[in-house]
Chain A
């Protein structure tokens, strides 16, 4: 238990700024806003909503840090629900004007609903000023991870992760089958994969074809973004209908036909586990967090057999990698605890030590560029990857990560695009026709 400390002589907020800043940033005077009813110090109990136990644990362990760095003494109560259900419940409580949490974790696919109309603006606290108040912090945050949670220049949530897409592969089986552990281009990957499938019946990557439409889109979007394409642009306009999208879809369809890409119903569920267990899938293109939630959760006994590598590149252009997933934590505005929650979030989520601790506890990568230079992190070895140093791969990729932009109509696009992707996978539609149909159907439905 932490007893409330005596009134601090230098405002603790200065401590927080110090901890957040780069090295010895001077503490700025004068706190910002703060209405009369808002708590500005003392004991508070924050309510936190999240879909994942990992975040709950992280924040709970962060209480001592937050107590030290801010004027508050914190307690935390957490509520868990499925990621999409959280937003439903949040909006429901907002309609009821009661029971809204102080802090909510928005899984990135669930967040776009907050962008509809003025929901985000009405409900969420704009963190821009808090970030700007710390010299150098704004520039240090990776723009690829603030873009998805920003609207009209306002920042509504802070991401948990920089979920770089990497290629996981089974080192033991790659060696046994004589496959090169890293290939430079997807073209080469296809050649290698085709041979591997023909000789050994294995797949080097998966795409999801199950009922979870956002996962179906995810399989495609990872590659699309890497190729330099996108679903939406910065102004929330659909830009799916592009040569890049057709090229990526052609690549996946070709992979499915040749067998080096296999379809699976779900990245996390039983079938994936069975495919891994039975050595049918010996490579996966997925985000950095997939090691914890996909591989280690499903096949813990394959520890040491896996490695990761930078994904191959598209010879036609694009980026070194892309990102997929992430969870932005936002603070509810105009509540008594708003300031306390914002301070808590910044003092656990954004400090150098907090970002390192987050990586150690949850496997989520820092969202501040400077943290990637931390020598301790760089030296970290991962047992699951047989002692490989993951940051060797991460730092190589970090400079070339495209941002992702969201639209409030994301869920409509997920519905129509997933259907068209599946048709193309099955061969019912050509890749070009599938992309065009998805764009047309989206424009037809999004106007309603």
Chain B
């Protein structure tokens, strides 16, 4: 999970810093030196590999020996590969879950923690964040045992509460997607809550007081005061979740291995599987390029629309 945003406000802050700094600048080289380490690493470990991926995507390579050129064949195969389409579809579902379920849930929890006069605020937000701290392998291990159809904790609970509990969490094509989504919700909600919470704490109290004087309902206050104030945070959180969900790997890999029958296969897993289980490195690279183009284009579009990531 990574990411961030600037909004119009930031560019204003940047603008005030700008002229002062410019006046005093002694050498035009310094800023470049400051950002040079990043750019060096960026070129070596990001741009060069992307270039290699582009070239590899036009080759057939089993991992040993010399790759041999096949032109656009890998791409034309992707077009007709039903596994890849399924992986794209599943990844789309993960993205929707994260944007439409996790983000609103995080906002809701943040609202709750931000209630005036709440006790033990630190406890709540710390406890909710803890899942993010736990390594994915451990998460998968624990949930694998919890989701077991016959002996897992989850079905035991359902049985105790409702008398029946034989949900095949990891074996049924639909339920396995639900299970993966639940784990995503568990891991990411608390993390995103933090951002909303900070956003809420920055909403000027006077706005709420004004709304209260007007006799606005809770819901109206939320819509008229809270939401507009949270727009920049929301934008950031949505783009972050989108990028992370688009490349989700660990949950399906460790929990269901993409199964049953590829029902939980994600694009990142498809790439890993092609390269490291089937020795089709060229094909994997081509799928990687497609994922890159889709994610990059969409997130640039979001950034443009929401005004994120610009600087004056």
Q: Tell me if chains A and B make direct contact, with any CB pair below 8 A.
A: yes
Interface residues of A (CB under 8 A from B): 84, 88, 91, 94-95, 113, 116-119, 122-123, 209-213, 263-265, 269-271, 274-275, 408-409, 411-412, 415-416, 418-420, 422-423, 426, 441, 444-445, 448
Q: Which of B65, B145, B149, B171 has the most CB of A within 10 A?
A: B171
Interface residue B170 (Cβ < 8 Å from any Cβ of A) = yes
Within 8 Å by CB of A119, from B63, B260, B263, B283, lies B63
Residues of B within 8 A of A418 (CB): 259-261
Residues of B within 8 A of A444 (CB): 82
Residues of A within 8 A of B150 (CB): 264, 271, 274-275
Whether the pair A419, B259 counts as a contact (CB closer than 8 A) is yes
In Å, the complex CA distance between A111 and B273 comes to: 15
Whether the pair B65, A117 counts as a contact (CB closer than 8 A) is yes
Interface residue B276 (Cβ < 8 Å from any Cβ of A) = yes
A-B contact list, 7 entries, CB within 8 Å: A88-B277, A91-B64, A209-B260, A265-B149, A415-B262, A445-B81, A448-B77
Whether the pair A422, B171 counts as a contact (CB closer than 8 A) is yes
Also in contact, A270 and B62, with CB within 8 A (given A84-B277, A213-B259): no
Whether the pair A117, B279 counts as a contact (CB closer than 8 A) is yes
In Å, the complex CA distance between A111 and B168 comes to: 31
How far does the Cβ of B141 sit from chain A's closest Cβ, in whole Å?
A: 10
Residues of A within 8 A of B263 (CB): 419
Whether the pair A212, B257 counts as a contact (CB closer than 8 A) is yes
Whether the pair B277, A411 counts as a contact (CB closer than 8 A) is yes
Whether the pair A210, B170 counts as a contact (CB closer than 8 A) is yes
Also in contact, A448 and B262, with CB within 8 A (given A119-B62, A213-B257, A274-B151): no
Whether the pair B259, A122 counts as a contact (CB closer than 8 A) is no
Whether the pair B63, A419 counts as a contact (CB closer than 8 A) is no
Residues of A within 8 A of B255 (CB): 211
Interface string of B250-278 (1 = CB under 8 A from A): 00000111111111000000000100111
In Å, the complex CA distance between A408 and B62 comes to: 11
Whether the pair B63, A91 counts as a contact (CB closer than 8 A) is yes
In Å, the complex CA distance between A210 and B264 comes to: 13
In Å, the complex CA distance between A242 and B53 comes to: 41
In Å, the complex CA distance between A213 and B202 comes to: 50
Residues of A within 8 A of B77 (CB): 448
Residues of A within 8 A of B62 (CB): 116-119
Interface residue B280 (Cβ < 8 Å from any Cβ of A) = yes
Residues of A within 8 A of B303 (CB): none
Residues of B within 8 A of A84 (CB): 277
In Å, the complex CA distance between A426 and B168 comes to: 11
Interface residue B83 (Cβ < 8 Å from any Cβ of A) = yes
Within 8 Å by CB of A113, from B145, B262, B277, lies B277
Residues of B within 8 A of A448 (CB): 77, 81, 280, 283
Also in contact, A270 and B257, with CB within 8 A (given A116-B279, A210-B170): no
Whether the pair B278, A117 counts as a contact (CB closer than 8 A) is no
How far does the Cβ of A255 sit from chain B's closest Cβ, in whole Å?
A: 17
Whether the pair B170, A265 counts as a contact (CB closer than 8 A) is yes
Whether the pair A265, B148 counts as a contact (CB closer than 8 A) is yes
Whether the pair A419, B260 counts as a contact (CB closer than 8 A) is yes
How far does the Cβ of B249 sit from chain A's closest Cβ, in whole Å?
A: 15
Q: Which of B151, B261, B283 has the most CB of A within 10 A?
A: B261
Residues of A within 8 A of B82 (CB): 441, 444-445
Whether the pair B64, A123 counts as a contact (CB closer than 8 A) is yes
How far does the Cβ of A262 sit from chain B's closest Cβ, in whole Å?
A: 8
Known: A94-B63, A116-B278, A415-B273. 20 other contacts (CB 8 A): A88-B276, A95-B63, A116-B279, A117-B62, A117-B64, A117-B65, A122-B65, A123-B64, A211-B259, A265-B171, A271-B151, A271-B152, A274-B150, A274-B151, A275-B151, A415-B259, A422-B260, A423-B261, A448-B77, A448-B81
In Å, the complex CA distance between A422 and B278 comes to: 22
Closest to A411 in B: B277
Closest to B264 in A: A211
Closest to A270 in B: B145
In Å, the complex CA distance between A122 and B63 comes to: 11
Also in contact, A113 and B151, with CB within 8 A (given A210-B170, A419-B259, A422-B260): no
How far does the Cβ of A205 sit from chain B's closest Cβ, in whole Å?
A: 15
How far does the Cβ of A101 sit from chain B's closest Cβ, in whole Å?
A: 16
Q: Which of A122, A264, A274, A448 has the most CB of B within 10 A?
A: A448
In Å, the complex CA distance between A444 and B83 comes to: 10
In Å, the complex CA distance between A355 and B277 comes to: 32
In Å, the complex CA distance between A210 and B255 comes to: 10
In Å, the complex CA distance between A113 and B258 comes to: 19
In Å, the complex CA distance between A326 and B259 comes to: 24
Residues of A within 8 A of B170 (CB): 210-211, 265
How far does the Cβ of B287 sit from chain A's closest Cβ, in whole Å?
A: 11
Closest to A425 in B: B171
In Å, the complex CA distance between A274 and B254 comes to: 22
6 shortest interchain CB distances as A-B pairs: A419-B261, A117-B62, A274-B151, A211-B257, A116-B279, A211-B256
Whether the pair B278, A113 counts as a contact (CB closer than 8 A) is yes
In Å, the complex CA distance between A96 and B65 comes to: 11
How far does the Cβ of B89 sit from chain A's closest Cβ, in whole Å?
A: 15
In Å, the complex CA distance between A264 and B276 comes to: 27
Residues of A within 8 A of B144 (CB): 211
Residues of B within 8 A of A113 (CB): 277-279
How far does the Cβ of B112 sit from chain A's closest Cβ, in whole Å?
A: 35
In Å, the complex CA distance between A420 and B263 comes to: 12
